[in-house]
Structure 1
Amino acid sequence: MLNITNEIQKAFNGDAWHGNHVMQTLNNVKAENAFEHFIPNAHSIAEIALHLTSWTEEVTSRLMQNTASEPVRGDWPTPESKTPQAWEKIIFDFKVANEELIRHCAEIKDIQWDEEIIDAQNLALGNHLTNAELLNGLAQHHAYHSGQIALLSKF
């Protein structure tokens, strides 16, 4: 299913319909602003970027037929440090996670896109999510958080 792979590619670093792709949005953030909490009780840009990376890695894991779970890094990881080098690593890790996902998507056969992910919780609830729906959800997730980052970077 080339179209769904194209959607995640566009959201990550392509010609996104909604505006700047996530990599462009992240690259426009100044390191000194990445860790700031501009809005009380809201996440910093760095925390959002780490969240995006966590879920990108989890989606890749699920597409590799691993059982769905919380991301290995956690849902909302905390930055290990708040330096320009730490910000560069956060962006780099996000880039690598997305490149790995896109590489894996290229290996998925067309008939596999309609297969349901292995998710014990959703099966128990009677919900069924296909690989295509999972990847589509991640593209939407990227767009949503890219918008948040764009707004926060204006502070």
Structure 2
Amino acid sequence: MIDFASELRKAYSGDAWHGNNVSAIISSVKDRQVFKRPIPNAHTIAELVLHLTAWTEEVISRLMDNMAKEPENGDWPEVNEETPASWDVILRDFHIANEKLVNLALMMTGDQWLENVRHIEGPRLTKWELLNGLIQHHAYHGGQIALLLKF
């Protein structure tokens, strides 16, 4: 049986096969880079981290057998303030959400991972497929953040 919590941990803060995990990438961000938009019409690093947090929280909700929906704060939550204190809150919320998800994943049994996520409509996913999608989501947006750091 696959250790699903371990797979999430690798993407979030462990030894990811593709390179740096998303936490390592985010921790290398300098305050002056957080709210910059080096590519017109692209998201800032802060916006990307808010998006990652929103979807991590939604995955937690779905794994707890709540109905699938858009994240509580929206798909792309807005940055409230462009200050170092605001960035600290964004980072804290990202880490809290991911640690909650890892802890939830550790408590789930093999049979629970094979259960379907509750949907009103749309494709049926097992809880494992949902978590695997979030792992891929972390890698994808982590790569975007890494690219923005080069500008």
Give TM-score, length-normalised by structure 1.
0.94
CA distance in 1, matches of 2:33, 2:106: 35
- Dislocated runs of 4+, deviation >3 Å: none
Q: Give the deviation of 1:31 after TM superposition.
A: 1.3
CA distance in 1, matches of 2:16, 2:124: 28
Task: Answer whether contact 1:49 1:94 (CA < 8 A) is retained.
Answer: yes
Task: Answer whether contact 2:49 2:91 (CA < 8 A) is retained.
Answer: yes
More helix by share: 1
Task: Answer whether contact 1:56 1:138 (CA < 8 A) is retained.
Answer: yes
CA 1:58–1:108: 2 relative to 1, 3 Å: same
Runs of 5+ in structure 1 lacking a partner?
none
Q: In the alignment, what sits opposite 1:94?
A: 94
Between 106-115 and 55-64, the greater mean CA deviation after superposition: 106-115
**How many pairs align?**
151
Q: In the alignment, what sits opposite 1:128?
A: 124
Query: 1:95-142 deviations in whole A, cap 9, x for unaligned?
Result: 0000000111111111011100001122xxxx2100000000000000
Q: Give the deviation of 1:3 after TM superposition.
A: 2.5
Query: 1:27-63 deviations in whole A, cap 9, x for unaligned?
Result: 1001111111110111000000000000000000000
**Quick one: which of 129, 139, 142 aligns to 1:143?**
139
CA distance in 1, matches of 2:73, 2:10: 25
Task: Answer whether contact 2:114 2:128 (CA < 8 A) is retained.
Answer: yes
User: Would you say 1:154 and 2:138 are equivalent positions?
Assistant: no
Which one-letter code corresponds to 2:145 in the other structure? Answer: I
- Superposed CA RMSD in Å reads 1.0
Task: Answer whether contact 2:117 2:126 (CA < 8 A) is retained.
Answer: yes
Between the two proteins, what is the percent identity of the paired residues? Answer: 52
Runs of 5+ in structure 2 lacking a partner?
none
Q: Give the deviation of 1:2 after TM superposition.
A: 4.6
